[in-house]
Chain A
Amino acid sequence: MGRKSIVLLVAVATAALIAAAIAAVYWQPGTGASGVGPASLRGSPAQSFTVPRLDDHMSSLNNFRGRLVVLNLWASWCPPCRAELPDLQRLYDGYRGRNVVVIAVNEGESAERAGAFARALRVHFPIFLDENQSYGRVYAALGLPTTVIINPAGRIVQGFDGALTFDQMKAAVVPLL
Chain B
Amino acid sequence: MLAAACIVVVAIQAIVPGKPWYHSSSYALLVVALNALLWWRLRKLFAQGDPLALPITVAGVGALLSTVVGLSAGLLGPDTQTYAGAPGAVIPIGEPSGNLRFPSVDPTSEVPIVRFESSRGHTISVPPNRRRYVGAFVMWSAPHPVAALTAEDLHRRRVTITQPTNASFLSPVLLFSQSARIGGRMLPVDSFSLPAEQRVVKVVLFSAATLSEIRHHPTARPALLVAVEDERARMLPGAIRLLPSGERVTVGGVIIGAVIADYPQIVVAAAPDLPILLLGVAFFLAGALWYATLRSRSRS
Contacts and interface: CB of A to CB of B under 8 A. Distances in A.
A58 interface: no
Given A6-B54, A143-B169, A133 B161 contact: yes
Interface in A18-37: 18, 20-22, 24-26, 28-36
A28 B87 contact: no
A33 B94 contact: yes
Nearest to A22: B68
Given A14-B61, A137-B86, A25 B276 contact: yes
Interface in B264-288: 273, 275-276, 279
Contacts of B171: 133, 136-137
A141 B89 contact: no
B286 to A, nearest CB: 12
Contact of A32 (B72, B104, B118, B157): B118
A34 B88 CA distance: 17
A36 B167 contact: yes
A113 interface: yes
Given A6-B54, A32-B97, A32-B117, A112 B88 contact: no
A108 B64 contact: no
B170 A133 contact: yes
Contacts of A134: 88, 104
Interface residues of A, number: 50
A24 B273 contact: yes
Interface stretch (A59-67, A72-80, A85-93, A168-176): A72-80
Given A110-B157, A137-B89, A137-B170, A75 B61 contact: no
B120 interface: yes
Interface string B38-51: 00000000100000
B88 A22 contact: no
B20 to A, nearest CB: 20
B80 interface: no
A37 B159 CA distance: 23
A7 interface: yes
A47 B87 CA distance: 13
Interface in A129-168: 131-134, 136-138, 140-144
B276 A21 contact: yes
B172 A133 contact: yes
A10 interface: yes
A121 interface: no
A84 interface: no
Contacts of B68: 18, 21-22, 25
A110 B156 CA distance: 9
Nearest to B156: A110
B210 interface: no
B46 A28 contact: no
B170 A33 contact: no
Given A21-B273, A134-B104, A10 B57 contact: yes
- 7 smallest beta-carbon distances between A and B, as pairs: A136-B170, A108-B160, A32-B98, A110-B157, A137-B88, A138-B88, A77-B196
Given A21-B65, A25-B276, A141-B169, 4 more contacts: A28-B135, A77-B196, A133-B160, A140-B90
Interface of A: 6-7, 10, 13-14, 17-18, 20-22, 24-26, 28-36, 40-41, 44, 47, 49, 73, 75-78, 107-110, 112-113, 131-134, 136-138, 140-144
11 contacts: A10-B54, A26-B72, A28-B119, A29-B97, A35-B92, A76-B196, A78-B195, A108-B159, A137-B171, A138-B90, A140-B90
